[in-house]
């Protein structure tokens, strides 16, 4: 079961292996969890600072302090 909903603002944990834009991302799509990890579903997310969407696991996301949509 997904913790976040489409349209919510979240922040992505940046790692050395996967650099990413800082700031809020918007949840664009709910992606089913992989078979080996049903408790960690995935999301398609988008930042206004990047031209592409990303796929991130729920464990890599935190709820953003920004309450409104990133794209409004």
pLDDT tens sequence across 41-54: 999 999 999 999 99
Residue 23, Ramachandran bin (φ over 0: left; ψ between -120 and 50: alpha; else beta): left
What residues does 42 pair with on adjacent strands?
A: 31, 57
Question: Starting at the edge strand that comes first in sequence, how are the strands of the sheet with 61-63 ordered?
Answer: 53-57, 42-46, 24-31, 9-12, 61-63
**What is the mean pLDDT of the segment spanning 23-29?**
95
Q: What is the DSSP letter of 70?
A: T
* Rounded Cα gap, residues 50 and 36, in angstroms: 30
pLDDT, residue 18, reads 77
Both structure tokens of 66: 């920004």
Q: What is the pTM of this model?
A: 0.84
Give me the residue spans of the domains in the chain: 9-63
């Amino acid at each position: 079961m997904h913790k976040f909903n489409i349209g919510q603002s979240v922040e992505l944990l940046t790692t050395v292996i996967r650099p990413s834009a800082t700031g809020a991302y918007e949840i664009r799509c709910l992606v089913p969890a992989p078979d080996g990890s049903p408790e960690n579903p995935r999301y398609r997310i988008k930042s206004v600072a990047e031209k592409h969407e990303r796929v991130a696991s729920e464990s890599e996301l935190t709820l953003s302090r920004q309450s409104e949509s990133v794209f409004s």
